[in-house]
Amino acid sequence: MLRTSGSSEESSAVQGPESEAPKVPSPEALSRFAATGWIGRACNPVDASFLVYFRVIFGGCALYWLGKGYWTGLAELHYIQPRFHFSYYGFEWLQPTLGNGIYLLMAMMALCAMFMIVGYCYRLSTTLFALGFTYLFLLDKTTYQNHYYLISLVSWLLAILPAHRLWSVDAWQNPSLRRATAPAWSLWLLRFQIGVPYFYGGIAKISADWLAGEPMRSAIGEKTWYPGIGQLFATEFGVQFFVWGGMLFDLLIVPALLWRRTRFAAFLVSLVFHILNASMWPIGVFPWFMILATVVFFEPDWLRRLLRIPAEPAPANEPAGASPAVVASSLGQRLAATALIGFVLLQVLVPFRHHLYPGDPNWTEETHHFSWHMLLRSKRCGVRLYAHDPHSGRTGTVDLRPYLTAYQANRFGREPRTIHQLARFVAADLRSKGFGDVEIRALALVSLNGRKPQMMIDPDVDLAAEPVTWNQPAWVMPLTEPLRETAWDLPLPEWEEHIELPTHFVMTSNSR
C-alpha cells in the first residue's frame, strides 16, 4: 500500500493538481524562435539596392557579350559553321538546328538583357535569357570557358532572386511588388556564387605542376612586351610571384572581402588582379564582370548611400521592424529552399569529383569542365585519325578539314573524349558512304605543360567501336613524361624524329 500510495503522490506531483496538457507554442513564439536562428538570419531584411545594381551590371555584360559575338563573327564561327559539335555527355539531344536563326535567338537574348536591366517582365526575361545562354553554352565543349559557366549559373540565380522589386518597371507598374528590402539569403547566395570561382581556382592551383611554375613560366615568358613589368616575366622571381601570388589571391580574397577591415584593400587588389588578367589573356568579359560583381561583398546599401537616396519606408503590408522569417511555408517554398540547398551543395562538391578518377585531370581532362580549373594546363597537340577497312586490309589517313572548323581543330585534341567523339562521327559518316565496318584509330601526341610529347590514346584501339562511358576509358594512356626544366619547344613536324612511335603511324597533322 505504501509503495502504491507513494507512486500515486509522485505522479500527482509531476502532473500537477489539474493534469494540464502540454502547451503548444504560439505562431508568434515560433516566429521569434526562427528569427533568432539561422532561418531568421537568412530571412532578415537587407537593403535591396544591391540587387538592382547586380541586375544592371549583369544585363550590361550580357549585352556586351552578345554584341561582341555578333560583330566579331564568333556566333557564326561557334554555332553556324561547324558540321559537327562536341556535345557534353547527357546533352547530345541539344543540337544547333537553328542555322542563321541563331541570330534571332541572340536578338531575343539581347532584348531580355535590356528588360533585365530596367526590370521589365523580369521573371520571364531572366528565365528566357538563362535558357538561351545555357543552350548556347552546352552546344560544344570546345567553346567551354569558365566564365561562360559562371554566367550561366548567375543567370539562373537572377531568375529566382527578387531583383525586380525595387527601382524597376515592374514595381512601377505594380506597386504591390515594391519592396525596399530583400531577404539576406539573396545577398549571401550571390556572394557565394561569386566567391566559388576564386576559392576553387585557388584549391586547383595546389598541384605539383603549378607549384613547379608551369604553365605560368611558359605563359608569361611570352609576354615580356608587357609595359613596365614585362622584363620581370623573364625572371624566376617573376614566375614565382605569379605562381604564389595567384594561388594565395584566389584562396584568400573571399575571406578578405568578407572582413570589413580588409574589404576595401582586398577590392583594390582584385581590381589590379583582374585588369592585369584582362590585358594579358584573351578571356573576354570575365575580368570586367568579376570586378563589377565583387562589389556584392560590400554592405548591401552601399549604392543607396553613394547616390544619397534615403531609405524607403516599409509598405503598409510590411510593418517596419517585422521579421520576414516564416515558420509555416508552402510546399512551393519548401521545394524552392530544397533546390537552393541542393544547388549550393553541388557547387561545393562538383569541383572535387576528380578524386573519383585516376590520373592527372590536366592530362585526362576528366572533370576539367565545371571545376574552375583556370590556367592550370597548357597543351600542344598533334592528332591524326586513321581509317581501316578490315575486309580489304586498306588503311588511310582521314582528312579532318571537312569535319572541323579551324577553331575546333585547335582545341579538340586536348581531351581524349572529344577525339573519341570525332572518331565515332567520322566512322558513321564513312559507313553512310558505303565503307562498311570501318575502324578508326588515333595517333594523339600531347605535350602537357612543356613536357616531352607522348601518346594520350592507345593507337591500337578502334575508337569507333568503343562505347560512350562515364567511367574513365581504358584506352586513355597514363601520363608518364616528367616535367622538364626547360619546356619542349620543337615544332610539331619534328616531333616524330624525337619520339618513338608505332611503325605503322606517321605524325603529320596539327591541333593546338
| pLDDT above 90: residue 126 | yes
pLDDT averaged over every residue in the chain: 86
| pLDDT above 90: residue 14 | no
Cell of 424: 565515332
| pLDDT above 50: residue 402 | yes
8-state DSSP, 441: E
Mean pLDDT of 261-285: 93
| pLDDT above 80: residue 19 | no
* Residue bearing cell 564582370: 289
Where does the pLDDT of residue 267 fall: very low under 50, low under 70, confident under 90, or very high at 90 and above?
A: very high
Instruction: Say if CB 449 and CB 377 are below 8 A apart.
Output: yes
Q: So what's the pLDDT on residue 7?
A: 39
Q: So what's the pLDDT on residue 391?
A: 84
Instruction: Say if CB 398 and CB 426 are below 8 A apart.
Output: yes
Q: So what's the pLDDT on residue 67?
A: 95
Q: So what's the pLDDT on residue 40?
A: 60
Q: So what's the pLDDT on residue 95?
A: 85
Radius of gyration of the chain measured on its C-alpha atoms = 29
Of all residues in the chain, the percent with pLDDT exceeding 90 is 66
| Residue 239 phi, psi (nearest 5) | -60, -50
Where does the pLDDT of residue 230 fall: very low under 50, low under 70, confident under 90, or very high at 90 and above?
A: confident
Q: Which helix (H) or strand (E) holds 455?
A: strand 454-455
**3-class secondary structure, 379:** strand
Domain ranges of the chain: 43-306+335-353, 378-497
- Least confident among 28-42, 145-159, 465-479: 28-42
Q: So what's the pLDDT on residue 346?
A: 93
| Cα gap 328→334, rounded to integer Å | 10
Q: pLDDT for 158-176, tens place per residue?
A: 999 999 999 999 999 999 9
Q: Which of 135, 147, 145, 139 is closest to 86 using CA atoms?
A: 139
Q: For residue 201, what are the contacts with CB-CB under 8 A and spacing of at least 6?
A: 250, 372, 373, 374
Which has the higher per-residue pLDDT, 485 or 54?
Answer: 54
Mean pLDDT of 35-54: 79
pTM of the model: 0.86
SS in 3 state form for 141-181?
HHHCCHHHHHHHHHHHHHHHCCCCCCCCHHHHHCHHHCCCE
Q: So what's the pLDDT on residue 99?
A: 85
| Residue 285 phi, psi (nearest 5) | -80, -10
What distances in angstroms separate CA 44 from CA 187, 192, 304, 403, 475, one per listed residue? 11, 17, 19, 56, 54
Q: So what's the pLDDT on residue 37?
A: 58
Cell of 16: 500537477
Give the torsion through C-alpha atoms of 177, 180, 183, 184, to 10 deg.
160
Q: pLDDT for 455-496, tens place per residue?
A: 999 999 999 999 998 888 999 999 999 999 889 989 998 898
Where does the pLDDT of residue 511 fall: very low under 50, low under 70, confident under 90, or very high at 90 and above?
A: very low
| Cα gap 79→280, rounded to integer Å | 27
| pLDDT above 80: residue 331 | no
Q: So what's the pLDDT on residue 282?
A: 82
Mean pLDDT of 80-105: 90
Where does the pLDDT of residue 12 fall: very low under 50, low under 70, confident under 90, or very high at 90 and above?
A: very low
What would the DSSP string read from start to end of 14-83? HHTTTTPPPPPPPHHHHHHHHHHSHHHHHHSEEETHHHHHHHHHHHHHHHHHHHHHHHTSHHIIIIIS-S
**3-class secondary structure, 495:** helix
Where does the pLDDT of residue 330 fall: very low under 50, low under 70, confident under 90, or very high at 90 and above?
A: low
502 cis-preceded (ω within 30 degrees of 0) = no
- Least confident among 20-29, 204-213, 472-481: 20-29
What distances in angstroms separate CA 289 from CA 19, 192, 273, 296, one per listed residue? 66, 15, 13, 12
Where does the pLDDT of residue 137 fall: very low under 50, low under 70, confident under 90, or very high at 90 and above?
A: very high
- Least confident among 267-276, 312-321, 332-341, 398-407: 312-321
Mean pLDDT of 269-273: 96
8-state DSSP, 352: G
Q: How many CA atoms lie within 13 A of 262 on its CB side?
A: 11
Q: Where are the beta strands (DSSP E) in 307-429?
A: 379-388, 395-397
| pLDDT above 60: residue 1 | no
Q: pLDDT for 337-363, tens place per residue?
A: 788 889 999 999 999 998 888 889 999
What distances in angstroms separate CA 212 from CA 215, 218, 240, 361, 484, one per listed residue? 9, 12, 9, 17, 10
Q: Where are the beta strands (DSSP E) in 313-375?
A: none
8-state DSSP, 382: E
Q: So what's the pLDDT on residue 281?
A: 86
